[in-house]
Structure 1
Amino acid sequence: MTAVEAAGEPVEERPVWQHIAAAVAAEDVEALFGVIGLGNMQLAVHLASEYGVAYYPARHESGAISMADGYARATGRPGVCTVTAGPGLTNALTSLLEARRSATPLVLLAGQSAVDNPADNQYLEQERLLRSVDIDVEGYDGAAGIPGTIARTFSRARRERRPVVVNLPLDLQHTVVALPPEAQAPQSTGTTQAPADESVQALAALLSRARNPIVLAGRGAVVSGARSVLEELADRVGALLMTSGPAKGFFSGNPFSIGVAGGFSTRRALQHVEQADLVLCFGASLNPWQTQHGKLFPPNARLVHVDTDPDAIDRHLKADLGIVGDVSAVAAAVVKELAGRGVRHTGMRTEARTADLRAFGAADEWADASREQDLDPRTLTARLDAMLPAARTVASGDGICFGWSILGLSVPDEQGWLMMYGFQSLGHALGAAIGAAVGRPDRLAVATLGDGGLMMALSELDTAVRVGRPLVVIVYNDSAYGAEVFHLTHHFGGLPTDLVRFPDVDFAATARALGCQAVTVRKEADLEAVRRWLEAPSGTLLIDAKVTPEVWADWMFS
């Protein structure tokens, strides 16, 4: 910022793209991810050279968005990305939808062809396209309005927890204007939504009578920062704790946590859930994945659903009691009401159940199905979980292998788990792990993906090498689109699977050619090379794990 800007006087005339850079820098942006083209090159270069914003170039726009997405989830700060016009934006769409479905705060600065030049090869009605897939676009009134829009865009991304796009037409970017310093929009996270008194009293009454309650926390609980107050509530009424898939890690370390709810619940967890007479859902959607299509909870269990969005309540499952309000505010009010009533129960925390949880944790046992040429994916995951440092960020996606990682890899907290599966599309985990490595260098970044997903993001191995942060890429390589093999075999009458099977690819050799370190794993002894790398981790290590195909888990049938 110049002395004239600091004094609050009008700045000198300069191109709008320079004003935009100043507005972005004013948001304390530390990292910018992207792919540079004609529509954004001056902006990106100026942010890096004049404002010291670290720029991380991806090889593909989809990877760039995933990097910004992973950075945001791992740090809690908005991810910031830039792409060029037309194909730059269309290449980014799938990853944008992943961020949208996963409620990631993200700002995309998208170049755009000049508004008066529809003959341009890269011309596209970008706003119309984005809105058609539920991606929000922040508008402005002419060239002079663009810089002031930036602060509003960042504020919305933080407050609404969604990607917000600013389209930047080239002709407007190059317009020379003089602007007074824009008043920055307040960086509000929204006001706390307090629950109605009668709702709190109704919930307290249910808890007073319940003897086997379960607390289920979702993304809304994470956003609210509600762990401590939910644990206080659970302690008072003797509840066991669960999370939705995206909130995995939220109760890490709590001895009464029984893992993830729904299709990824372990058999041991289900034995406890079957005894529930009251389920308290805080900020989770209760979608079919989270509830095993409505069959997870006993039919006679009462259901309470707390959410800031009134439309979320009863959307998937009918609640006996719906409460609109912030998770922390509702939980704190109920704890206070219960204390006033003198309510404190042992609930689900009997000596026998506590001993069972302590002895076995949340994991299931399995009969190892490893063969001479490949390794059971459950065994692989368990061995890697024991080897990887506790301070880790795991970015996971991609079909069947996602199930092994969500069940078998532990994380220190909810920011250590990046569930890149909101849109159920392949190829996002690698970029997200790179973004996490940038944002949280204090933790080892880990990407888990299948061979199909890696093929879709293979170019970003080069990005990982250039970024240079320690990163582990675990490839569950079954030489197939494993989920499609399963569905063709079990859900479609045993149809042939040859169209979704592929020759075995030597990903280790490919990774080495791109500058990674790599190891091929076919048996447990091969993991010794991983252990040695972990003694002094540096650069990118790719583990090409040849896993036993057609090891089907319970969740695949749910």
Structure 2
Amino acid sequence: MKIYEALAKVFHTLDFGTCFALLGDANMHWAGALSDFGARFIYTRHEHAAVAAATAYARNSGKVGFATVTCGPGLTQVMTILPIAVRARVPLILFAGEAPLHKEWYNQMIDQAPFVQACGAHYVPLHDPDTIAQDVINAVQHAARERIPVVLGVPFDLQKQDFTGDISTLKATFEFPTLDVVHPNLDAIQSVAQLLQNTEKTVILAGMGATSDHAQKLIVELAEVTGSLLATTLPAKGLFHDKAFSLGVAGGYASDAAKAIFERAEVVLGIGARMASHTFDGGRLTPNAQVIQLDLEPQEKVQGRKASDIQITADAISGTEALLAACNGQPSKTWRTTAMQGETEAALTLPHFTPTTDGFLHPLAVIETLQQEIPKAVHVINTSGHCAYYTAQMNAHPQSHYTVIRDFGAIGNGTSFALGIAERYPDRPVILLDGDGSVMMHIQELETMARHGLNIMSVVLNDGGYGSEVHKLRASGATLAGSVFGRPDFASVGRGFGLAGTTATTQDDIAQAIRAFLNSGSPAICDVHISDTIASPQIQRIKH
């Protein structure tokens, strides 16, 4: 047995689920052996797509993501997705191979460790044949324990050596750390409970650390007891989609009406949330509020700004239970008036828009149709870029069927994330909402969708360029050269890759395309022509 076969057997025993792969000299024999053992693979057309798909798969499965690319240029292709996975705290194993140990010169040779470490990920060179199998298990445990991407470098000449060890004696298992149960300081809880009860204008903000069913129910109850409004971070969007007195998502993607309510808040309690800068719109969202963070790792300063005035170390469930115990039976001031119920409902309603005069759809007209046509059982993926503000205004979709990963602010990830989500939920239709500039970056993955029969529809909001740059340049009176490219015929491109391709110039076109996709169960792409004259509120604020 060769070392690559022994390693393949170890990985098969570890049972990560699907491996997202693009093969080359440094990983193809190992991947072939792993496939022969029965592992499932999704073979992408680009290395970035493989790692991004694994990232989305891991984020939604609770498993360690699993991907493989070849060494050298195969690894350098993933420099955008690695920081995203690091910042999103996604556990990931990337088998990258490594240049041969016993060649003085190799065309694809690069010092891989500094590259990986610059992205914030962990690099493990596997060079010792005697410990290599155990080293793999240790690396996997590190990824799971620290919730971090780990890249494995295995020289491919070493992989072809005979394996002399005995993997039958190895314990090829790993464990995620048990969900931390951290009980809060009761004096701190009592103080915060009194603050919530004695303050009228309070908001409870839930993050990804509070998305379990139990935590969600407790937070809803706490909000009712304390008369607080509800909100979420962007990654937790949809957690309170069917609850009264919800403001939806906090931060720059909040509606203008929601921002007007946030601005009046006197106390904000964040539960299981990082309190990131964009969640508070750089400090503009709640300028007069006292901010409390209840989290396993609360911090006074986050991303260069003061994020909270009071920090309570606790898990979301234990901390919320303690607050409920301290508040129950005690009178509270409340922001939950009949008038406020009307305000919060209005804040989650699409604002009025005037149809465009250039013959293209208003972005809000597109969102109006998407909200009407996409069932809650469909998994929706939101991405980055100018169009992401508009797609974030879909406020009726549940968090369990909604994914957004934008921790590095990069476009070009949507098609890859869709691969991972569709593989994670094979019984769910998946609809990706993305911009034309983003889709063009990895358009080749449409072929991956078709080849693997993944049930994905890509809805492309096509404004003929890079929307954010167009609006910023136009506002400053600068040339639009380099930001406007014209409108590619995505429908024809999709059909060329084997998808159902349609072009939508009306809201009815969009509705018909979605219905056809849902009835077919086959991958599709809908090219929606939107106006480039409508700047999002975020961009308008920059202009002024």
TM range (shorter): over 0.9
1:374-404 deviation line (CA, Å, top 9, x unaligned): 1111111210221112112222223101111
Name the amino acid aligned to 2:297. D
1:56-100 deviation line (CA, Å, top 9, x unaligned): 000000111111112122322222101111111111221222222
Indicate the SS of the match to 1:487. Answer: helix
Q: How does 1:318-337 map to 2 (within 5 A)?
A: 318-337=307-326
Deviation at 1:331, TM superposition (A): 1.6
In structure 2, the residue matched to 1:350 is 337
* Aligned mate of 1:433, from 407, 411, 418: 418
Indicate the SS of the match to 2:93. Answer: strand
> What is the total number of aligned residue pairs between the two structures?
537
> Could you say if the C-alpha distance between residues 150 and 410 of structure 1 is closer, same or farther in structure 2, counting changes exceeding 3 Å?
farther
> Could you say if the C-alpha distance between residues 223 and 109 of structure 1 is closer, same or farther in structure 2, counting changes exceeding 3 Å?
farther
Separation in 2, partners of 1:535, 1:285? 36
Deviation at 1:311, TM superposition (A): 4.3
Pair 1:555-2:538 in alignment = yes
- Whether the 8 Å CA contact 2:99–2:155 is kept in 1: the answer is yes
Q: How does 1:440-451 map to 2 (within 5 A)?
A: 440-451=425-436
Separation in 2, partners of 1:117, 1:534? 52
* Aligned mate of 2:91, from 94, 105, 118: 105
Name the amino acid aligned to 2:293. H
> Could you say if the C-alpha distance between residues 534 and 455 of structure 1 is closer, same or farther in structure 2, counting changes exceeding 3 Å?
closer
* Aligned mate of 2:477, from 488, 494, 499: 494
- Whether the 8 Å CA contact 2:517–2:524 is kept in 1: the answer is no
Pair 1:293-2:282 in alignment = yes
In structure 2, the residue matched to 1:5 is none
Deviation at 1:528, TM superposition (A): 4.5
Pair 1:40-2:23 in alignment = no
- Once superposed, which parts of structure 1, at least 4 consecutive aligned residues long, lie more than 4 Å away? 310-315
CA RMSD of aligned residues (A): 2.2
Separation in 2, partners of 1:256, 1:105? 35
- Whether the 8 Å CA contact 2:432–2:457 is kept in 1: the answer is yes
1:284-303 deviation line (CA, Å, top 9, x unaligned): 2333321122111141x221
- Whether the 8 Å CA contact 2:373–2:515 is kept in 1: the answer is no
Separation in 2, partners of 1:98, 1:552? 27
Scaled by the length of structure 2, the TM-score of the pair is 0.93
Deviates more, 1:240-249 or 1:265-274: 265-274
> Could you say if the C-alpha distance between residues 150 and 476 of structure 1 is closer, same or farther in structure 2, counting changes exceeding 3 Å?
same
Separation in 1, partners of 2:496, 2:126? 46
In structure 1, the residue matched to 2:467 is 482
> Could you say if the C-alpha distance between residues 188 and 528 of structure 1 is closer, same or farther in structure 2, counting changes exceeding 3 Å?
closer
Separation in 2, partners of 1:257, 1:163? 35
Indicate the SS of the match to 1:399. Answer: coil
Name the amino acid aligned to 1:160. E
* Aligned mate of 1:25, from 3, 6, 12: 12
- Whether the 8 Å CA contact 1:285–1:316 is kept in 2: the answer is no
Separation in 1, partners of 2:139, 2:108? 25
Indicate the SS of the match to 1:227. Answer: helix
Name the amino acid aligned to 1:477. N
Deviates more, 1:545-554 or 1:344-353: 344-353
Pair 1:147-2:113 in alignment = no
Indicate the SS of the match to 1:81. Answer: strand
**Structure 2: unaligned runs, 5 residues or longer:** none
Name the amino acid aligned to 1:305. Q
Pair 1:306-2:294 in alignment = yes
Indicate the SS of the match to 2:380. Answer: strand
Separation in 1, partners of 2:181, 2:131? 31
Deviates more, 1:14-23 or 1:182-191: 182-191
Indicate the SS of the match to 2:210. Answer: helix
Separation in 2, partners of 1:61, 1:517? 25
Deviation at 1:197, TM superposition (A): 2.7
Separation in 2, partners of 1:405, 1:146? 46
> Could you say if the C-alpha distance between residues 354 and 409 of structure 1 is closer, same or farther in structure 2, counting changes exceeding 3 Å?
closer
In structure 2, the residue matched to 1:259 is 248
Indicate the SS of the match to 2:322. Answer: helix
> Could you say if the C-alpha distance between residues 303 and 139 of structure 1 is closer, same or farther in structure 2, counting changes exceeding 3 Å?
same
Deviation at 1:155, TM superposition (A): 3.2
Separation in 2, partners of 1:160, 1:395? 26
Name the amino acid aligned to 1:524. Q
Separation in 1, partners of 2:127, 2:20? 27
Q: How does 1:267-416 map to 2 (within 5 A)?
A: 267-299=256-288, 301-311=289-299, 313=301, 316-339=305-328, 342-345=329-332, 347-358=334-345, 360=346, 362-371=348-357, 373-408=359-394, 410-413=396-399, 415-416=400-401
- Whether the 8 Å CA contact 1:224–1:327 is kept in 2: the answer is no
* Aligned mate of 1:459, from 444, 460, 468: 444
> Could you say if the C-alpha distance between residues 500 and 372 of structure 1 is closer, same or farther in structure 2, counting changes exceeding 3 Å?
closer
In structure 1, the residue matched to 2:457 is 472
- Whether the 8 Å CA contact 2:293–2:310 is kept in 1: the answer is yes
Name the amino acid aligned to 1:512. R
- Whether the 8 Å CA contact 1:108–1:164 is kept in 2: the answer is yes
**Structure 1: unaligned runs, 5 residues or longer:** 1-13
- Whether the 8 Å CA contact 2:370–2:511 is kept in 1: the answer is no
* Aligned mate of 2:192, from 200, 203, 223: 203
Indicate the SS of the match to 1:270. Answer: helix
Name the amino acid aligned to 2:314. G
In structure 1, the residue matched to 2:75 is 89
Separation in 2, partners of 1:256, 1:145? 57
Pair 1:191-2:180 in alignment = yes
- Whether the 8 Å CA contact 2:58–2:64 is kept in 1: the answer is yes
Pair 1:78-2:61 in alignment = no
Separation in 1, partners of 2:315, 2:102? 46
